[in-house]
Structure 1
């Protein structure tokens, strides 16, 4: 059994490393292609439209080939409350990200996106009232400092590019939080969720694309004067960009579904380092040594934040575990019924009169509710007042 568990853990680790390697490679290449495309074809909404369309076109056949299970019907109220906002966020994040890449270098856009932990902390405080440790708050300072240094020394600074990158970062932070929540609450396969979001995002983005880019294609004379080779090249870049985004979405959603949010954040920070490095080498955008230093400080801050969050969660586990052990020990002591002098025990091994005098123990962290259940009545913990269940409780406490 132990060897089988070790083998399974090893396979899971190899799978995660492989998926992250593919994710990093596709993301780096896709960002370079997007920048080359937008330099020649400055229509970020069209690029976003190709991306969400690619999810719809490619994912359906792949799900049939992989026999991805159908999901249970989702209540219309939940659909409107959770799924539709996620789809709106998907197309908005895509458009904002492409506007930022169009206006500023890829390296700077991804440096700004490194501020995601800041927005995650703020949103968690506003939405879930989650408080952070002092260590977590201090870990945000290098991120702020690094982005400020990179912004001040950015030779190709553009305000629209900065605001678009910040908008994309905030939206991606919200998507990460609520995508995980939707997967857990609906039991939906992650590829099914991605397909649903892609179709809805295409539906929402289509009228915007018609008004913004589609009308310009019909009226601008500069586009009609382009040679045929230009359109062949642009179409090839659009298709390649869409496929890279589709593949990246599949891998990213798969990683989200099998790792914790902390592990995903670490992987995302590592991916950002590679994207920045590859873009600087291949696109050769002008940077200063101070600019690069600011990028590195921001990324180091992200890693420090992830470590601080990990330490915080470990401390929370310790503080919730100790009271649980203490309460369960009290329950265990009460179950030593044969030693109590309150009359003869029954054939089942416990004294019913004593059992009726037990206080009600309740521990939400342990899942045990010690109500005095009548025989045949199951409490929330599964306790039915039988010796076998009392043995299971003791086994649980021993573990």
Structure 2
């Protein structure tokens, strides 16, 4: 009988010759084969495959580092995909905020102009708008929709000049809307970014207050500043009795005034929300685009006649503000 022979190596092969003999573990001796069997137990092995012949091979599945590389590549791809989806979501959110900013501003100017044409009391209208904003701020703080701030006396003293300027700016805007076209008013207001930079540097400095909180505090302070001045200057002329005596439609005046006040606070609130997400220079560019949209919509709605000279002057003013914003942006990148 011919004896069966076998060899054991990293590529384990066992061959048998007929007549077949049974392999028994007790006949295996490590000293004769010079193979450390324990070293193979730590290697990941591919399942054995039996061929038609009587030989088969056991080979390592793959190297450990290659397996780890495949295992870690999937989370990296998932992280990149999650980052891309997060960036897309932030872009869509920012676009929605810009859209609301434009829409609220358009409706504010339309409703406000309609009221001021029949009710020529800009101080009263300004105080009503700040009152609406104060109610909204109180709701936000009262129901913890936004964290109520802890403001020190020094911070209030720093914010007070901004509140005064904010009050005067909106008062003069209402006075202008009552006298001239919306397009002319917003052409003048296009210079806001220039004065905002100067006033912020003069009065605010480096106060550690977020934009929403700052706007909320300014709104409340503006109401407290405008209310007594309004009563002393124009008196109480928003009662139903007074409006009825002047022949005005009470419901229309009230509804349009409240809608204008709501849009007034909403567009400024959204403006500060955008300012939290973009740089001041990008915000000023968006503000310039918003002026163009508001002017165009008001001209179409009120059918305001625009001469070539007026159109040319408006274009120069808006182009100047846009170029100013672009220069500021370029300087910010090179700094």
Deviation at 1:37, TM superposition (A): 0.8
Unaligned residue ranges in structure 1 (runs of 5+): 124-173, 317-399
Deviation at 1:69, TM superposition (A): 2.2
Q: Which of 117, 123, 128 is 1:39 aligned to? A: 117
SS of equivalent to 2:86:
helix
**Counterpart position of 1:90:** 166
**Counterpart position of 1:393:** none
1:237 aligns with 2:256: yes
**Counterpart position of 2:192:** 116
Deviation at 1:266, TM superposition (A): 0.8
The alignment covers a number of residue pairs equal to 256
Structure showing greater Rg: 2
Q: Give the whole-Å Cα distance in 1 for the aligned partners of 2:194 and 2:214.
A: 27
SS of equivalent to 1:241:
helix
Matches within 5 A, 1:244-323: 244-316=263-335
SS of equivalent to 1:258:
coil
Unaligned residue ranges in structure 2 (runs of 5+): 1-78
**Counterpart position of 2:220:** 199
Report the CA distance shift for 1:15/1:224 in structure 2 as closer, same or farther (over 3 A).
closer
**Counterpart position of 2:132:** 54
Q: Deviations over 1:221-275 (max 9, x none)?
A: 9866334x62222111111111111211211111122211011101100110000
**Counterpart position of 2:106:** 28
Structure 1-normalised TM-score? 0.59
SS of equivalent to 1:290:
helix
Q: Deviations over 1:329-366 (max 9, x none)?
A: xxxxxxxxxxxxxxxxxxxxxxxxxxxxxxxxxxxxxx
Q: Which of 132, 149, 152 is 1:75 aligned to? A: 152
Report the CA distance shift for 1:74/1:178 in structure 2 as closer, same or farther (over 3 A).
farther
Q: Give the whole-Å Cα distance in 2 for the aligned partners of 1:70 and 1:62.
A: 8
SS of equivalent to 1:308:
helix
Report the CA distance shift for 1:222/1:208 in structure 2 as closer, same or farther (over 3 A).
same
1:63/1:191 contact within 8 Å kept: no
1:225 aligns with 2:303: no
Q: Give the whole-Å Cα distance in 1 for the aligned partners of 2:196 and 2:269.
A: 23
Q: Give the whole-Å Cα distance in 2 for the aligned partners of 1:66 and 1:293.
A: 49
Deviation at 1:290, TM superposition (A): 2.2
Report the CA distance shift for 1:209/1:8 in structure 2 as closer, same or farther (over 3 A).
same
Report the CA distance shift for 1:244/1:110 in structure 2 as closer, same or farther (over 3 A).
same
Q: Give the whole-Å Cα distance in 2 for the aligned partners of 1:178 and 1:65.
A: 34
**Counterpart position of 1:208:** 229
1:256/1:264 contact within 8 Å kept: yes
Q: Give the whole-Å Cα distance in 2 for the aligned partners of 1:226 and 1:232.
A: 14
RMSD: 2.6
Deviation at 1:93, TM superposition (A): 1.3
1:117/1:305 contact within 8 Å kept: no
1:15 aligns with 2:93: yes
Deviation at 1:62, TM superposition (A): 3.5
Structure with the larger helix share: 1
**Counterpart position of 2:207:** 185
